[in-house]
Amino acid sequence: MLIIAGVGVAFVLAFLATFIPGVVGECASMMLGFVTTPVFLEISFFCIGLLIVLTLNHVRMKKEGDGWVYLERVEDPSAPVDLPEHAKWATYREAPLPGEEPGLLAQAEGAAEIGDYDAAAEMIAAMDDEERKRPEVVALRIRLAHATGREELARRIESGEIP
């Protein structure tokens, strides 16, 4: 609305400029006459409208930034088949951080935290013997044994009978 008022004020000022004596008034009269000629009037309105649209878009882009987003999509064949379509993608305004594959210990701890004890046991079984002897892995094995109700196994791991 403000833009339309501005264009209207510009035309009124151009009309009033035709009453200025001398060369300035004559130039304003010729320009106003040229702009309001039937064919040129439509072309002038089109150009003014296009200029307004481009200006508004430029101001919006400066304020909000460009419309580019980053799309991350799940294309893993091991993803559940019944995963809803809207859960298979996410958009970000800024580039997401590069992903990294967590180690077996982190995966086992995560599985134990959510109660997936079978997956945690599989992760621990996939570790080599040296890694399984690390104190944090031994603590996780003890916690896993307690969580699954294998108190005897937990006691044997604590005492060192089972490496």
User: Closest by alpha carbon to 124, among 134, 114, 146?
Assistant: 134
DSSP state of 89: E
Look at the block and give the residue holding tokens 């481009």: 54
Residue 24: is its pLDDT beyond 70?
A: yes
Amino acid letter, 118: D
Name the band, by pLDDT with cuts 50, 70 and 90, for residue 41.
Answer: confident
Looking at residue 156, its pLDDT comes to 86
Among positive and negative, which fits the CA dihedral 133, 137, 143, 146?
A: negative
Looking at residue 150, its pLDDT comes to 87
Name the band, by pLDDT with cuts 50, 70 and 90, for residue 163.
Answer: low
Residue 161: is its pLDDT beyond 90?
A: no
- Please report, in angstroms and rounded to a whole number, the separation of the first and last CA atoms in the chain: 79
What's the rounded Cα separation, in Å, for the pair 72 and 53? 32
Q: Which residue has the higher pLDDT, 131 or 77?
A: 131
What mean pLDDT is predicted for residues 115-140?
89
Look at the block and give the residue holding tokens 């419309």: 67
Q: Which residue has the higher pLDDT, 16 or 7?
A: 16
Q: Is pTM, for the whole model, over 0.75? A: no
What mean pLDDT is predicted for residues 108-127?
90
Domain boundaries, the chain: 2-64, 104-159
pLDDT digits (tens, 9 = 90+) for 51-67: 989 998 999 888 887 77
What's the rounded Cα separation, in Å, for the pair 80 and 89? 14
Give the start-end residues of each E strand in the chain: 70-73, 89-92
Residue 78: is its pLDDT beyond 70?
A: yes
Q: Six-digit token pair at 116?
A: 């997936």
Looking at residue 54, its pLDDT comes to 93
Triad 68, 73, 76: Cα angle to 5°: 160
Name the band, by pLDDT with cuts 50, 70 and 90, for residue 73.
Answer: confident
What mean pLDDT is predicted for residues 98-115?
88
